[in-house]
Structure 1
Amino acid sequence: MARYRTASVIEADVETVWDFYGDAEELRALTPDWLGLSIRAIAGPDGDGDPETYHVGTEITLELAPFGIEGLPGTEWTVEIVEREVRADRAHFVDEQVGDRGPFERWRHTHRFVDLGGGETLLVDDIEYRLPFVGDRPLATPALAAMLWYRHRLTRRLLE
C-alpha cells in the first residue's frame, strides 16, 4: 500500500492534544473545506448521532466535493474507528474506510499522540492507502500532505 506519514511537535501537554483530537466536533475544524471534504454525520457505536468523543465503532461519514461539485455519485466516504487506546504518556486511534464506502480500495489512518515531557506532545499521522485502478502508487499523497499540514498548523495555532 502507499503510505504517507508526518509528525509535529505541539507545545501543549498530551492530554490537551488528545482531548482536542478526540472531540468529534473538532474534526469539523480540522477538515479544510478547500479540499472539498466535509463531515456529513458522526455516529457513535450505540447509534448516538452526536458523540462527545470517538470510541471503537464510531462511524464518520464524509462527503467529497471535487471542484466544489456536491452530490456526485461515489462521493460519500465512511470511516470507522477500529482501534483506540489511552495511556498516561501516549494515546492513539485508528480509522479505516468501511468496505467500499469511499474513494479508496483500502484506507487506514493512525493518529498517535506521545508525551514528550515539558508540556510537549508528538503528533503523528500515519496513513496507508490503496486507490482503485492505480494500486499502491502514491497519487493521493500531495492532497494528504496538504490536509495534514493544515491540521498540524491549526493544532499549533489553537493549542499553543
Structure 2
Amino acid sequence: MPRFEVLTHVIAPPDRVFDLSLDVGLHITSMAGSSEEAVGGVTAGGLRLGESVTWQARHFGILWRMTCAISAYERPGYFVDEQVSGPFKYWHHAHHFPSDGHGGTVMRDVIDFAAPLGPFGTIAEVAALRRYLPRLIRIRNQHVKQVAETAPPAES
C-alpha cells in the first residue's frame, strides 16, 4: 500500500495550524484548482471528532465524491481523517502538528492509500496517484501556511 509524507514548516503556533487545517472553508479555497466543494455533512466551519464531510471535486477530468470522517482528534497535536466512502479502496490521512520549539509548527501529513480495481488500481497508483496526491497536499499546505502566518484580525 502506498504511503507518502509531506512536511511543511509554518511560522504560527500548533493550535492555530491545527484549527485552520480542520476548517472546511479554508480547505475549499485551497483546492479551488479542482473546484472542490463540501456537499454533505459538515459544510462550513471546523470539523470535530466523529464528524464527516463529503467533498466533490474534479480530478483527471472526472467528478468525484469522497466522504471523510475525523476518526482521531487530539488538539493541537494531531487528527486523522479516513475515507468512509469514495474513490479509494483505502484512505487514511494523519495530520501531525508538533511545535518547532520556536513558536512555529512542523505540519506533517502521513497518507496511506490504495486505489480500487486490483491490478488496474495498482497501475493508476504508479502512473499518476503517487505524484498527483502529494502535489495536492503541498498545494493545500501552502494555503494553510499562508493563512496561518497572516496575523488574525484584532478582536474588538
TM interval, short-chain normalised:
0.7 to 0.9
- SS state at 1:111 partner: strand
1:95 counterpart residue number: 81
Pick aligned residue for 2:71 from 60, 82, 90: 82
Return the structure number with greater helix share.
2
Residue 88 (structure 2) pairs with residue 104 (structure 1): yes
In structure 1, stretches of 5+ residues that fail to align are none
2:50 counterpart residue number: 57
State the shift of 1:40 in Å. Answer: 2.7
Pick aligned residue for 2:139 from 150, 156, 159: 150
Using the size of structure 1 for normalisation, the TM-score is: 0.78
State the shift of 1:108 in Å. Answer: 0.3
Q: How has the CA–CA distance of structure 1 residues 37 and 97 changed in structure 2, closer, same or farther, with 3 Å as cutoff?
A: farther
Q: How has the CA–CA distance of structure 1 residues 116 and 2 changed in structure 2, closer, same or farther, with 3 Å as cutoff?
A: same
What do residues 25-64 of structure 1 show as CA deviations (whole Å, max 9, x unaligned)?
Answer: 2221222x32x351233525xxxx64x3222221111123
Asked if the contact 1:104/1:130 (under 8 Å) is kept, the reply is yes
Q: Give the 4+ runs in structure 1 shifted more than 3 A.
A: 66-70, 134-139
Letter in 2 for 1:130: A
Aligned residues: CA RMSD:
2.2
Using the size of structure 2 for normalisation, the TM-score is: 0.79
In structure 2, stretches of 5+ residues that fail to align are 150-156
Pick aligned residue for 2:113 from 125, 129, 144: 129
**How far apart are the structure 1 equivalents of 2:2 and 2:122?**
5
State the shift of 1:136 in Å. Answer: 5.8
2:104 counterpart residue number: 120
State the identity as a percent. 26
